[in-house]
Amino acid sequence: MELKQEAQIFEMPHLLTYYECDETSHPSLSMILSMISMVSDEHSMALGMGTKEIQATGGTWVVSGYEGQLSAKQPSFGETIILGTKAVSYNRFFAVRDFWITDKEHQIEYARIRSIFVFMNLKTRRMQSIPPALIEPFNAPIAKRIPRLKRPHKLDEDASVIKKNYQVRYFDLDANHHVNNARYFDWLLDPLGRDFLRESQIKRFNLQYLQEVRNGEMVESKVNKLQKNNEKVTYHQIDVGEQLDAIAEIEWY
């Protein structure tokens, strides 16, 4: 197994565990997002920027959205995979980061995901400019134009909507005292039901985070299940009361 490890690119091996996989024996989308967040943390740590160094700035990285494709063939538990990431480009407020998951010989690309990060001040809970000391070591180019992620299609309130409520639980919180980003995908997908989730496989997805969900809140997850030009697509929305927290769009094999 050859791994790329330089300032801008970082790869690590990962033994896919039983509990990162769902009933299909393949990793759930929330676990895929958790795994890529792990390689992003490892990349930062390898460059001397662990959680302590980041938190010392008074802020934290926050993901504003994801756009990704999954191959029809997915890894199974017990398999060693490669998690990779690249710091693509950045400007004062946004940093673009790519992720990939491959088999251990780099022959099959199981997933390719792009995300955009912003930097949040932990006191004001507002966006602030990215501290140069946290971004320069990645050696990524400063971009005049930051590529935008595709915006998810909005939920169609006129079409049939499946709704389900989820109570945010203590173990949804991570060491950053936030609801783990990846957890949203469990809330997004669960309303589709066991039969749909066993028979369908995610082909591409995009998600936009709009507001933070907090401990103890009750979220409502709404879904449209649609057939569009021979494509099986679902539109998703997560909200707390009147406040829209996230929107997502998924295309299925």
Chain positions contacting a copy of itself, by CB under 8 A = 17-19, 21-25, 28, 30-31, 34-35, 37-38, 41-42, 45, 50, 77-78, 166-167, 169-171, 173-175, 177, 180, 182, 186, 189-190, 193-194, 197, 215-216
Nearer to a copy of itself, 132 or 216 (CB): 216
Nearer to a copy of itself, 148 or 169 (CB): 169
Tell me how far, at minimum, the Cβ of 168 lies from a copy of itself, in Å.
Answer: 10
Tell me how far, at minimum, the Cβ of 30 lies from a copy of itself, in Å.
Answer: 7
Total residues found in the chain within this entry: 253
Tell me how far, at minimum, the Cβ of 123 lies from a copy of itself, in Å.
Answer: 18
The sign of the dihedral angle between the CA atoms of 246, 181, 129, 114 is negative
What type of residue sits at position 52?
A: K
Tell me how far, at minimum, the Cβ of 13 lies from a copy of itself, in Å.
Answer: 9
Nearer to a copy of itself, 10 or 89 (CB): 10
- Per-residue burial over 36-60, b if 16 or more Cβ lie within 10 Å, else e, is bbebbbbbbeebebeeeebeebebe
How far, in whole angstroms, is CA 196 from its chain's centroid? 22
Nearer to a copy of itself, 45 or 133 (CB): 45
Nearer to a copy of itself, 21 or 149 (CB): 21
Tell me how far, at minimum, the Cβ of 191 lies from a copy of itself, in Å.
Answer: 9
Tell me how far, at minimum, the Cβ of 19 lies from a copy of itself, in Å.
Answer: 4
The sign of the dihedral angle between the CA atoms of 215, 216, 218, 222 is positive
CB atoms within 10 A of CB 179: 21
Tokens of 119: 């930097």
Distance, CA of 174 to CA of 176 (rounded, Å)? 5
Distance, CA of 1 to CA of 107 (rounded, Å)? 11
Burial bucket for residue 233 (CB in 10 Å: 0-12, 13-18, 19+): middle
Nearer to a copy of itself, 177 or 228 (CB): 177
